[in-house]
Amino acid sequence: MDYIVSGGNKLYGELPVYGAKNCALALLGATTLTDEEIVLTNCPQIVDVQNMLQLLQTLGKKVWRVGDVVGVSGALNTTIVTTPLASLIRGSVLVMGSILAKYGQVELPLPGGCAIGSRPIDIHLDGLRKMGVDVCEQDTQVVCIGKPRCVTYKLRFPSVGATQNLICASVLSNGKTVLKNCAIEPEIVALERLLINMGAKISGVGCSTVTITGVSSLHTATANVIPDRVVTATYLASVVCAGGKVTLTNCNPHHLRSFLQLVSANFSTKVYKHEIQVDVTTKASSYGVVQTAPYPYFPTDMQSLLLSMSCYARGQTTIVENLFENRLLHNASQLNKMGGNVVVDGRVATINGSTLVGADVFARDLRGGAGLVVAGLGAQGQTHVHDVEHIHRGYANLAQNLNCVGAKIHTVN
């Protein structure tokens, strides 16, 4: 499936932001900690969530969905995660800690997802080993046996997925676990709050040091999936590249402060508790030097958006990708096909503002694909974005939503 993006159409109106992919996947992974029903509201209708729900069903969970509300209940009838679904979604690894905590064993394939560089789960596995779990790594599979024991453990890097897995692995332990150098992303906080609502004892919510006192069992709870900060940034970047005036609703500006600061420094913005309005009437100046880093610093998931935005800015912008070694290369080459002036040297991209024209480009991954759509909105002529199935993994109706505020994006098979 492809998108044909007709550039040069300014965007005006209002766009609501839906629930976050990365939050929904973590909360769904935690549903395996209890047989009782967990209900999630504001759960996005995207491919990754659909695949995660199917994965839970293959494990024995009962799943229902009505619009953006999802319910998951029941015991597992297997602790073996099958390859077909797991290979489609990196979020499949997020069931590992929870299943171990409740059942004491889990077998799963190495996770799939986007081709943006090395994405090992060694921090997850190292933490589990420290908790006394017997971990056997095979070529394509990981087998873990043993209920996690209480430890004090410092993550060598604040990995989001490892933090989520190790917290979930600890909540049913007999005693107190202290995890240090944890990730502090909003999605982590949302998971911690769900677990507390389920009966877990967690202190240090939102902090880099988290203390978990194990309980014997967890129970039913309801949680609201937080607004998707990457979708919010995508909509902002769309207006930056295309021009216009758009109000984003149902978002949390606090969750994307680093990205929002770059936009606010160049364009007229109004920020409210759950809304952001941006008014773009001219080009940005250089965005300077931006380095990706763990939250609350500039997120790697917004790097491709900034890359596209920088092509439309006056002067030179430098982006340093510190997390994924291959995340710059592909989109840089595609933007250069559109007339961009992007030079990549290892993990550093230097972008000199230019005029983009429509071209045939290819989405290689979820965030990169969205970045190419954003670039096409401001380009002269038509941009043909191929392989947009990647985009559908994390965006619900991206083309239709942007068309509602004046974009012209056609979907072709």
So which residues are the catalytic ones? 114
**CB neighbours of residue 379 within 10 Å:** 27
- Which helix (H) or strand (E) segment holds residue 366: the answer is helix 366-378
Listed residue (289, 368, 379, 376) closest to 329, CA to CA: 368
The two tokens of residue 308 are 């596209």
Q: To which residue do tokens 């790697």 refer? A: 300
Q: Can you tell me whether residue 50 is helix, strand or coil?
A: helix
CA 301 to chain centre: 7
Pairing relationship of beta strands 141-145 and 134-137 according to DSSP bridges? antiparallel
Is the CB of residue 15 less than 8 Å from the CB of residue 251? no
Q: Can you tell me whether residue 113 is helix, strand or coil?
A: coil
Alpha carbon distance 212, 192 (integer Å): 10
The two tokens of residue 117 are 């560089």
CA 72 to chain centre: 21
What lies within 8 Å, CB to CB, of 139 at 6+ separation is none
Q: Can you tell me whether residue 228 is helix, strand or coil?
A: coil
Pairing relationship of beta strands 201-203 and 221-224 according to DSSP bridges? unpaired
**CB neighbours of residue 291 within 10 Å:** 15
Q: To which residue do tokens 């969970």 refer? A: 61
